[in-house]
Structure formats: structure tokens, C-alpha cells
Chain A
Amino acid sequence: MELRATYRDAGLITVVDIGGRITLGEGSALLRKTVRELLLENRTKIVLNLADVNYIDSSGIGELVSAFTAVKNRGGDMKLLHLTKKVHDLLQLTKLFTVFDVYSDEHTALASFG
């Protein structure tokens, strides 16, 4: 399934709803393009809603890390929301749970920006 990404405003925070597979090729490229667009618009407080992402490979993981670093370098922050079990297990296995802020509730994720 191809990756889909749309975004919406929640106050000063942008929630990106993503669905599909974040894998080598178009999936990773779309995520990169979406985050780049947000940063160009100075939207640096980002929540990635991964509720409908059922698959990520190492390229997708790399793209998540790249997006996280790009946002941090702009003085912003990027949080992850609604991980599916496979994505949750993969981030745990790769120790990225120690890097990303992960939430299971959108309200809490938004409130975490303070």
C-alpha cells in the first residue's frame, strides 16, 4: 500500500496523519517531502500520527530519524502518536524508543509541547 500523508493544524502544532508503508522509495520520499514542506512553512511543532502505518523498513526508520533531526535542528520538536504493534516493536528493538517521544493519545501528545 502506498504511503499517504495529510496534515492539519491543532493550534500551533501540526498533526500529520500518515497511512501505508514507510519503506525504501516513494514511502520514505513522501515523508521527507512532507516534513520539508512543514519546515519551510515554519511549522516546527509536529506530531506524526502513525495509526495507519502498518509497516516500516530500515529506510523508513532512517527517514523518521532524519525528520526528527531536521525538526530539532530548527528548534522544534517531533512526537510520534498511535504506533501500531509492528512499528512499536521495531522502535523498541532499535532502541529508538529512547529517542522519540511516543504517545497513545492525541490530546496528551499535543499537551506535551507545553
Chain B
Amino acid sequence: MAPDTKHLEVTLETQVESVNLAEEMCLRVAEAAGFGEDDCYRIGMSVREGVINAFHYGNQERPEKKIHLVVELTPEKMIIHVLDEGQGFDLSRVPDPLAQENLLSTSGRGIFLMRAFMDEFDVVPGRTGGAEIIMSKKLPLNPSGANGQGGQDTAPQQGA
């Protein structure tokens, strides 16, 4: 880890309340880092979706398992890691929620939203044995308002 990287790591219980807790924590970091309202919304939503994924799919809602949240703040970007203690999964096998046959599915949009709302997104095998979601957002160019600051009205980018 580079010396100018700030690092925050917490272990969360596998419970619904952890979703809100993780979102609130990351929102505080994002606001302190200078992200604007719209980017904070996207970061908060992505963290929610990452922790929901760990809670539901990774840890299968089993309370003895933990969710590990790591936030890194480098001079260039905010990086968020969400690790579960499940079996891991292959990102390429996640169904496309925009496919006509999946539009009426009641689940399966979390990965899509994280991809759409963050600049970088990947899933790798985690050190805890399950999946590790890694996602990042570039810091605003100018903390006083040049990029992502002040509730800009730009549409989120579509994921690959």
C-alpha cells in the first residue's frame, strides 16, 4: 500500500443492518474526499449492492459468516473491497438483467448497478475464501467543484 493511501477496514455481521451501516460509512468517506452529491449517491448505492450480494448470495444469510469491507483512498481514487465467506462466483456467468427474458426477474441487478455506477469493477477470489468485489471511483479533479461536485445531472455510464 502506498504511503499516501488511507485505509479503513471493518468486519460486518451477516445481517440486513450491515447494508445501511456500510453505505453510511462509505458515504462519509466519499463526502470527506470531495465527491459531489450524484457521485456519493452512486458510491453509496454500489456499496449497498456489494454488501447485499455478500449478505445474500455469498454468505447465504448465514449469521456465523462475516462480511469484510475495505475502503482505500489514494490520491487518485476511492477503492472499495467487499469480501464474503461464500463459495465465490464467476462474473462471466452472471445473467444480463437487461436481456428481455430477465426484465421481469425479481433479482440479479446488483452487479449491473455496481458496474454502471462505478468507474472500475471486478470480482476476484478473496482472501477469505469467497468472492471479493473490487470497485473504484476516480476522485473529483477539483474538490471545489470541477468534477462530480454539487449534484451534477449527468447520466451514469453503462457497464461493459
Q: Which residues of A contact B (CB under 8 A)?
A: 23-25, 57-59, 61-63, 65-66, 68-69, 86, 89, 93-96, 98-99
For the complex, give the distance between the alpha carbons of A94 and B98 in Å: 6
**Known A58-B113, A62-B105; further 13 A-B contacts with Cβ < 8 A:** A23-B20, A24-B16, A24-B19, A57-B45, A58-B109, A62-B109, A63-B106, A69-B106, A89-B156, A93-B116, A93-B158, A94-B97, A96-B103
For the complex, give the distance between the alpha carbons of A94 and B20 in Å: 22
The residue that A94 contacts in the complex, of B48, B49, B112, B155, with Cβ under 8 A, is B112
In the assembled complex, the CB of B133 is this many whole angstroms from the nearest CB of chain A, namely: 14
For the complex, give the distance between the alpha carbons of A105 and B138 in Å: 39
A-side contacts of B48, CB under 8 Å: 23-24, 57
Restricting to B115-147, which residues have a CB under 8 Å from any CB of A?
Answer: 116
Tell me the dominant secondary structure on chain A's binding face: helix
**Looking across the interface, which residue of chain A has its beta carbon closest to that of B56?**
A24
- B contact residues, range: 20 to 34
For the complex, give the distance between the alpha carbons of A69 and B19 in Å: 27
B89 within 8 A of A: no
**Looking across the interface, which residue of chain A has its beta carbon closest to that of B153?**
A85
**Looking across the interface, which residue of chain A has its beta carbon closest to that of B52?**
A24
Counting chain B CB atoms within 10 Å of each CB, which of A59, A69, A89, A98 scores highest? A59
B107 within 8 A of A: yes
Please judge, given known A-B contacts A23-B48, A57-B45, whether A69 and B104 are in contact too, CB under 8 Å.
yes
Closest CB pairs A-B (n = 8): A62-B106, A58-B109, A25-B16, A58-B110, A66-B106, A95-B98, A62-B107, A65-B106
B-side contacts of A98, CB under 8 Å: 103
B-side contacts of A57, CB under 8 Å: 45, 48-49, 52, 113
**Looking across the interface, which residue of chain B has its beta carbon closest to that of A98?**
B103
For the complex, give the distance between the alpha carbons of A94 and B113 in Å: 8
B52 with A59: CB separation less than 8 A: yes
The residue that B103 contacts in the complex, of A24, A66, A95, with Cβ under 8 A, is A95
The residue that A58 contacts in the complex, of B16, B107, B156, with Cβ under 8 A, is B107
B103 with A61: CB separation less than 8 A: no
Counting chain B CB atoms within 10 Å of each CB, which of A24, A62, A99 scores highest? A24
**Looking across the interface, which residue of chain B has its beta carbon closest to that of A67?**
B106
In the assembled complex, the CB of A84 is this many whole angstroms from the nearest CB of chain B, namely: 12
